[in-house]
């Protein structure tokens, strides 16, 4: 249900209006990645949506990612107010809601922008209802093999201040995911891709996983399509 709601929200965003000699016009952009992988003998569907609606300075930023396996979905939805504060950076504030293993809502504060050397960067501090402080850092870069064949490495790091046994997370750095996506941009609106993800649990979280007899790392390959609306 969450997925459907999230996707509907993105697609039903108002269409762009063009300004007449002023810049108060609103625009929108939605990147949606839908992918499939076969993992642990199970079919898994993934989605990763990233979109905004607004003007040059103020934007409503909505994000969602997650996966569906065996009819169970797990993921997160973000709703952020995003304000341009310098040439390459937006400051953001809003909420993140996790669903799946156990619903949880966070207050999120952070930045989104382009770091030198074209690193798309997102860094957010999270404050959970129970007082847990979390953090996420994400970086992504595009390497143009040709103008349409693009290799896109990315890295995500997560950390929390307190262990959360039901989630299997320990305190400190919890996990890192390095991904390599190779996509072919048929045009800017449609790009099929193949992606390799390597996730590794870290520190206390890794220890807990091993103690529970679970793997502390995971590698998978998925096939997907990236859409721009």
Partner 1 sequence: MKSMLLAGFFSLCASVALAETRTYDLTISQVQSTVGGKPVPKIAVNGTIPGPVLRFTEGDEAVIHVTNRLKTPTSVHWHGLLLPGVMDGAPGFNGFKGIAPGETFTYRFPVRQSGTYWYHSHSLGQEADGLYAGIVIAPKTPDPIQADRDYVVLLSDYHQDSAARIQANLKKSSDYYQYKRRTVGDLLKGAHQEGLGKALKSAGEWGKMRMLPTDLSDVTGYRFLVNGLTNAQNWTGLFRPGERVRLRFINASAMTMYDVRIPGLKMTVVAADGRPVQPVEVDEFRFGNAETYDVIVTPREDRAYTIAAESLDREGFALGTLAPREGMTGDIPAHRPRAVLRMGDMNMDVMMRDDPNMDMSQMDHDSGWADTGAPKGAVVLDYAQLKSLTPQSDTRAPTRFIKVVLGGSMERYIWTINGRTFSPQDGIALGYNERVRLIYVNETMMAHPLHLHGMFVQLENGQDTDRLPDKHTVIVPPGQTVSVLLSATEPGDWPYHCHLMFHMQSGMMTTLRVAAPEAGFVPPAAQPAPDHTSHGEGHHAHH
Query: Where does this chain bind partner 1 (CB under 8 A)?
Result: 15-16, 18-23, 27-29, 56, 84, 87-88, 114, 116-118, 143-148, 188, 228
Shortest Å, Cβ 151 to partner 1? 8
DSSP 165: G
- Choose between 172 and 192: whose C-beta lies nearer to partner 1: 192
Query: Which of 27, 81 has the CB closer to partner 1?
Result: 27
Minimum distance from residue 139 beta carbon to partner 1 (Å): 14
What counts of helices (H) and strands (E) characterise the chain?
2, 13
- Relative to beta strand 72-86, strand 42-54 is unpaired
Residue placing its CB nearer to partner 1 in the complex, 151 or 212:
151
Helix (H, G, I), strand (E, B) or coil at 206: helix
Tokens of 221: 């390959």
Q: For strand 42-54 and strand 27-39, is the pairing parallel, antiparallel, or unpaired?
A: antiparallel
Smallest distance from the beta carbon of 183 to partner 1, in angstroms? 14
Reduced to 3 states (helix: H, G, I; strand: E, B; else coil), residue 11 is helix
Cα 33 to Cα 38: distance, rounded to the nearest angstrom: 17
Closest distance to partner 1 from the beta carbon of 150 (Å): 9
- Whole-angstrom Cα distance, residue 99 to residue 102? 6
Q: Minimal distance in Å, beta carbon 224 to partner 1? A: 19
Nearer to partner 1, 98 or 185 (CB): 185
Specify the residue, 107 or 144, whose C-beta has the smaller distance to partner 1: 144
Helix (H, G, I), strand (E, B) or coil at 48: strand
CB count within 10 Å of CB 186 equals 11
């Amino acid at each position: 249900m969450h997925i459907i709601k999230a996707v509907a929200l993105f697609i039903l965003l108002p269409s762009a209006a063009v300004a007449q000699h002023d810049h108060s016009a609103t625009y929108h952009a939605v990147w949606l990645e839908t992918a499939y992988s076969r993992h642990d003998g199970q079919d898994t569907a993934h989605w990763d949506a990233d979109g905004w609606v607004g003007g040059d300075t103020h934007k409503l930023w909505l994000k969602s990612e997650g996966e569906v396996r065996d009819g169970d979905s797990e993921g997160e939805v973000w709703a952020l107010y995003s304000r341009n504060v310098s040439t390459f950076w937006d400051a953001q504030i809003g909420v993140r809601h996790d669903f799946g293993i156990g619903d949880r809502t966070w207050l999120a504060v952070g930045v989104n922008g382009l770091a030198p050397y074209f690193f798309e960067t997102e860094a957010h501090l999270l404050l959970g209802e129970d007082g847990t402080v979390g953090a996420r850092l994400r970086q992504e870069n595009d390497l143009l093999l040709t103008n349409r064949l693009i290799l896109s490495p990315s890295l995500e790091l997560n950390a929390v201040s307190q262990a959360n046994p039901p989630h299997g997370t320990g305190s400190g750095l919890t996990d890192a995911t390095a991904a390599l996506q190779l996509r072919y941009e048929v045009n800017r609106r449609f790009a099929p891709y193949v992606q390799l993800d390597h996730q590794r649990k870290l520190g206390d979280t890794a220890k807990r996983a091993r103690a529970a007899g679970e793997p502390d790392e995971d590698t998978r390959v998925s096939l997907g399509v990236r859409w721009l609306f």
